[in-house]
Amino acid sequence: MERKEFLNKISGGLAFTCVACMMAACSKDDNTGSGNNTGGGGNTGGGGTGSILLTINLTTQLLAVNDFVSDKGIIIVRKAAGNLVSSFAAFVNACPHQGVAVTFRKPSNDFYCSPQNGGHGSTFSITGAVTNSPATSGLSARTIEISGTTLTVK
Ligand code: FES
Protein backbone atom coordinates (compact mmCIF):
# COMPACT_ATOMS: atom_id res chain seq x y z
CA MET A 1 0.00 0.00 0.00
CA GLU A 2 2.70 2.43 0.91
CA ARG A 3 4.63 1.63 -2.23
CA LYS A 4 1.54 2.12 -4.42
CA GLU A 5 0.77 5.36 -2.69
CA PHE A 6 4.39 6.42 -3.16
CA LEU A 7 4.26 5.60 -6.88
CA ASN A 8 1.00 7.47 -7.28
CA LYS A 9 2.56 10.53 -5.70
CA ILE A 10 5.63 10.27 -7.91
CA SER A 11 3.67 9.71 -11.12
CA GLY A 12 1.37 12.55 -10.19
CA GLY A 13 4.36 14.72 -9.58
CA LEU A 14 5.88 13.73 -12.90
CA ALA A 15 2.66 14.41 -14.67
CA PHE A 16 2.54 17.82 -13.07
CA THR A 17 6.13 18.42 -14.05
CA CYS A 18 5.49 17.33 -17.64
CA VAL A 19 2.43 19.56 -17.89
CA ALA A 20 4.47 22.41 -16.53
CA CYS A 21 7.24 21.65 -19.06
CA MET A 22 4.74 21.51 -21.89
CA MET A 23 3.19 24.77 -20.85
CA ALA A 24 6.61 26.33 -20.68
CA ALA A 25 7.46 24.93 -24.12
CA CYS A 26 4.20 26.20 -25.55
CA SER A 27 4.79 29.52 -23.96
CA LYS A 28 8.22 29.73 -25.59
CA ASP A 29 6.75 28.78 -28.97
CA ASP A 30 4.10 31.43 -28.63
CA ASN A 31 6.69 34.05 -27.88
CA THR A 32 8.77 33.00 -30.86
CA GLY A 33 5.72 33.10 -33.09
CA SER A 34 4.84 36.55 -31.93
CA GLY A 35 8.34 37.69 -32.63
CA ASN A 36 8.17 36.31 -36.13
CA ASN A 37 4.80 37.91 -36.72
CA THR A 38 6.09 41.23 -35.59
CA GLY A 39 9.00 40.94 -37.95
CA GLY A 40 6.66 40.07 -40.78
CA GLY A 41 4.57 43.10 -40.06
CA GLY A 42 7.63 45.24 -40.22
CA ASN A 43 8.46 43.84 -43.62
CA THR A 44 5.01 44.45 -44.98
CA GLY A 45 4.21 47.87 -43.78
CA GLY A 46 7.50 49.20 -42.73
CA GLY A 47 5.94 49.98 -39.39
CA GLY A 48 8.53 48.01 -37.43
CA THR A 49 11.71 48.83 -39.26
CA GLY A 50 10.44 51.49 -41.61
CA SER A 51 12.42 49.99 -44.47
CA ILE A 52 9.65 48.95 -46.86
CA LEU A 53 7.13 51.68 -47.49
CA LEU A 54 5.04 50.07 -50.22
CA THR A 55 4.75 46.70 -51.93
CA ILE A 56 3.39 46.35 -55.48
CA ASN A 57 2.35 43.17 -57.29
CA LEU A 58 3.50 43.73 -60.86
CA THR A 59 1.17 41.04 -62.22
CA THR A 60 -1.86 43.15 -61.30
CA GLN A 61 -0.63 46.72 -60.80
CA LEU A 62 1.31 49.26 -62.85
CA LEU A 63 0.80 47.28 -66.04
CA ALA A 64 0.84 50.14 -68.56
CA VAL A 65 3.09 53.17 -68.97
CA ASN A 66 1.80 56.06 -66.83
CA ASP A 67 -0.14 53.74 -64.54
CA PHE A 68 0.47 54.87 -60.99
CA VAL A 69 -0.27 53.94 -57.39
CA SER A 70 -0.63 56.53 -54.66
CA ASP A 71 -0.62 54.93 -51.24
CA LYS A 72 0.95 55.39 -47.81
CA GLY A 73 2.37 58.77 -48.77
CA ILE A 74 4.16 57.38 -51.82
CA ILE A 75 3.43 57.79 -55.52
CA ILE A 76 4.94 55.25 -57.87
CA VAL A 77 4.60 55.56 -61.64
CA ARG A 78 5.49 53.23 -64.47
CA LYS A 79 7.68 55.20 -66.88
CA ALA A 80 8.45 52.47 -69.39
CA ALA A 81 7.67 48.90 -70.33
CA GLY A 82 9.43 46.01 -68.60
CA ASN A 83 9.92 45.20 -64.96
CA LEU A 84 13.24 46.96 -64.51
CA VAL A 85 13.92 49.40 -61.69
CA SER A 86 14.49 52.04 -64.38
CA SER A 87 10.93 51.45 -65.62
CA PHE A 88 9.50 53.10 -62.51
CA ALA A 89 9.74 56.28 -60.46
CA ALA A 90 8.75 56.56 -56.80
CA PHE A 91 8.47 59.69 -54.70
CA VAL A 92 7.16 60.83 -51.35
CA ASN A 93 3.97 62.67 -52.24
CA ALA A 94 4.65 65.63 -49.95
CA CYS A 95 5.29 68.84 -51.86
CA PRO A 96 8.64 70.33 -50.84
CA HIS A 97 7.02 73.79 -50.69
CA GLN A 98 4.63 73.32 -47.76
CA GLY A 99 3.99 69.60 -47.61
CA VAL A 100 0.67 69.35 -49.44
CA ALA A 101 0.12 65.97 -51.12
CA VAL A 102 0.88 66.14 -54.83
CA THR A 103 -0.99 64.04 -57.38
CA PHE A 104 0.17 62.40 -60.59
CA ARG A 105 -1.45 63.68 -63.79
CA LYS A 106 -1.50 61.04 -66.50
CA PRO A 107 -2.34 63.37 -69.40
CA SER A 108 0.63 65.66 -68.77
CA ASN A 109 2.85 62.96 -67.26
CA ASP A 110 3.78 65.11 -64.27
CA PHE A 111 3.08 65.71 -60.59
CA TYR A 112 0.85 68.58 -59.51
CA CYS A 113 0.37 70.35 -56.20
CA SER A 114 -3.22 71.37 -56.71
CA PRO A 115 -4.74 74.49 -55.09
CA GLN A 116 -7.87 72.37 -54.70
CA ASN A 117 -5.92 70.35 -52.12
CA GLY A 118 -4.41 73.42 -50.45
CA GLY A 119 -1.32 73.61 -52.66
CA HIS A 120 0.02 76.48 -54.71
CA GLY A 121 0.32 75.03 -58.19
CA SER A 122 3.85 73.68 -58.27
CA THR A 123 4.51 71.02 -60.86
CA PHE A 124 7.20 68.36 -61.04
CA SER A 125 8.45 66.29 -63.94
CA ILE A 126 8.43 62.50 -64.00
CA THR A 127 11.98 62.71 -62.62
CA GLY A 128 10.68 64.67 -59.62
CA ALA A 129 12.36 67.93 -60.69
CA VAL A 130 10.49 71.21 -60.19
CA THR A 131 8.97 72.53 -63.40
CA ASN A 132 6.82 75.28 -61.86
CA SER A 133 7.29 77.25 -58.62
CA PRO A 134 6.72 78.19 -55.82
CA ALA A 135 8.46 74.94 -54.86
CA THR A 136 12.20 75.35 -55.23
CA SER A 137 13.30 71.75 -54.82
CA GLY A 138 12.19 68.47 -56.31
CA LEU A 139 10.18 65.62 -54.90
CA SER A 140 11.94 63.23 -52.56
CA ALA A 141 12.76 60.06 -54.51
CA ARG A 142 12.53 56.63 -52.92
CA THR A 143 14.47 53.49 -53.65
CA ILE A 144 12.79 50.86 -55.80
CA GLU A 145 13.69 47.18 -55.67
CA ILE A 146 12.23 44.39 -57.80
CA SER A 147 12.29 40.69 -57.01
CA GLY A 148 10.42 38.59 -59.55
CA THR A 149 7.05 40.27 -59.91
CA THR A 150 7.16 42.05 -56.55
CA LEU A 151 8.24 45.67 -56.44
CA THR A 152 9.05 47.31 -53.15
CA VAL A 153 9.55 50.96 -52.40
CA LYS A 154 11.89 51.83 -49.57
S1 FES B 1 2.49 73.20 -50.94
FE2 FES B 1 2.87 72.57 -52.96
S3 FES B 1 3.12 74.42 -54.05
FE4 FES B 1 2.77 75.05 -52.01
Question: How far, CA to CA in Å, does 90 sit from each of 74, 77, 145?
Answer: 7, 6, 11
Residue 17 pLDDT exceeds 50:
no
pLDDT tens digits for 76-105?
999 999 999 999 999 999 999 999 999 999
CB 134 near ligand 1, within 6 Å: yes
Pick 3 or 132 by higher pLDDT.
132
| Cβ atoms of 117 and 101 closer than 8 Å | yes
Examine residue 96 and say whether the peptide bond preceding it is cis (omega within 30 degrees of 0): no
Stated pTM of the model: 0.68
Q: What is the CATH number of domain 54-153?
A: 2.102.10.10
Residue by residue, DSSP assigns 51-95 as ---EEEETTTSS-STT-EEEETTEEEEE-SSSSSGGGEEEEE-B-
Residue 7 pLDDT exceeds 70:
no
Which SS3 state, helix, strand or coil, does residue 107 take? coil
CA of 117 to the centre of ligand 1 (A): 9
Which SS3 state, helix, strand or coil, does residue 50 take? coil
CA of 27 to the centre of ligand 1 (A): 53
Query: What are the structural domain ranges in the chain?
Result: 1-45, 54-153
